[in-house]
Every structure is written in structure tokens, then in C-alpha cells.
Structure 1
């Protein structure tokens, strides 16, 4: 989990990656594009001068939250679900869901809920309002319109003292499909080449 990191690093293909394998797929296609865009939007709204920004692990545990809590107010973005639509047919289409967690720490429960009226000191109510107004209805070019489907305070039991909490939100984008146009022919050629190799391997030797 890297503090202040909000972009997905482009990693060179590992040795053995077929040369014709479309690089756009390896880089995450629309999933990576949406993740990076959401991360940038979070930094625009919840400024890095106040909030530290992180990648949220797939299965955050107590150690995760303890690490986040060491850096003051924190924002952590994860990549959760690409749920297929029932009628997507031959081209995959579904709903992308990104979990976001905002960790807050203020002197007492009242301020934790209501905040101080400043970004540095925003409370639970303010974070809920941020997601409802700055993310719900946000149009992302090439992807669609963001819907905030849930905003809640996580039940962390005895993980935090009374003056800290985690506000979680789900950001969703419906009807998202892979951007096949730039590499459709390349993918078709690659799959056909791979199929030809498999057939050659299965041919009996004379």
C-alpha cells in the first residue's frame, strides 16, 4: 500500500508473454482506466494536502486500518467487482464496482459525525455529502456515469477508539464493456495463432 500513489504503474510484460498478446488487455483495459480516473477524482475532491491516498488491499484487515490511521485522514481505493449483465451476449458487459474507504479521526463523537466545517476536520456527514454530490452523477468519458450505491460507516468493533471511524462507499459504473475496437484484429490473430499451436502439439507423430 503506497501512500500518495493513485496511478496504476505500467509494468513491462514478463518474459514469456507472447509478442502478439494485446498490451491493452495486459494493462487492464477499461478496468484500469476507470480505476485511475476514480483515483484522480478522489485526489481532486479530497486533497492530498489533507488526506493521504492509498490502494486498498482486496481483503483489508486490522493491520490495514492501523497503518492507514497512522497518516491522519486517509482515503483508500480498491477494485472490487465487474458483474456481468444477464443479456450481455457475445460481448461482455457489466457493472464495475469500486470500494472506497475514508478513515477519519476527530477529538470526540460529535465532531466525528458533524466535523468542523473545514476539509481538514470533515466528519462522517461531510464525507457522505461529498460522495453524494461529487461522485454520484459524475460522467466519465468512454465509461459512463458513476452511481454511488452505498455509503456507510464500517463496524470495526474494537479496532478503533471512539474518535476514529471508516466511512465506506461503493462507486458503480453500469453497462461497461471491454474497449475491443483498438485491438480486435490483433486479439483475433493471437487466439488463432495459439489455437494453431495447440493443434500442432496434439498431432500424432509418425
Structure 2
């Protein structure tokens, strides 16, 4: 294990070349604050295991840091969601004739289904989905960050659109029902 400030030169070089890219991906995945914290944690864990992991190639090192950071972000988000006090949760008793409740339930169920779908995708397609749909990055920027061709990014996005199309239609139906319910 290495102490702070005594990182091996090859780790320092790896960090210099990959830190911005990893942080960008993690901020797209988990938001700015948690993403930056998770990226730092991923590199810290890599440094702890550097003696065993230094022989990996740059793509495998980056994948290790990203996977570690992603797991850290998920654990933190899950832990934080468990400890929200009841007094911090807004609550009003829905009335029996509140037709908006069904739309909210539909919307939450739809969101959970989309999250499960994205989580089930292969790593590269999931990364493209997060950067394209959530972070609004362009094809060229995603290609640069993930070290793939723009045509590969376009293919991933086209396939993602096909898979997500039924969810988008359902979302539009929920929104239209909300519009008609308000009018």
C-alpha cells in the first residue's frame, strides 16, 4: 500500500492521463458531487492495489477504476436513500378520487423499468446511454471519452433508441393523460 504523496511514477502518469475522462463519465453517471467523489475513490482503490494491477493495459485499468467508482456511487446513493427521516419526506394523503395518483405510479414504474433496462445493458452501451441521453454529450465527445469510433457511438445510440422507444411512447401517454387531467 502506498502513502499519500508517494504514488509510483507509473500510477501518477496513469492518473494524469485518465482522471479527467473518468471524472467526466462518473459525473454523467452519478451527478457532479457524487461522481467526483466516486472517481476519486476509484483511483484510491486502484492505488491501493497498484502492485497487482500495474500490469493491466490502459483500457483495463480505466475499466477497473470506472467499475469501482460506479459501485461506490451506487452504494452511497442506496445508503443515503435509506436514511431520509420521515419528517423530511413530503406527504399528503391522496384522496380516493385522485386520478393523478395512478399517473404518478405509472411514471415511477416506468422510470424504474428504464433504470433496470439501462443497468442490464453491456458496459459500453450503458456508458454511451448515460453520456448521450443524460449528459447530452455529442457523438464525437463520447467517441473520444470511450475511445471508440463515432460510427460505433452512432450504432449504439440507434440501438438504444430502438430499445427505449416503447418506454418513450408510454411516457408520452402518461404526459398526455396529465395534460388532459389538468385541463
TM-score, length basis structure 2: 0.31
TM-score, length basis structure 1: 0.29
More strand by share: 1
More helix by share: 2
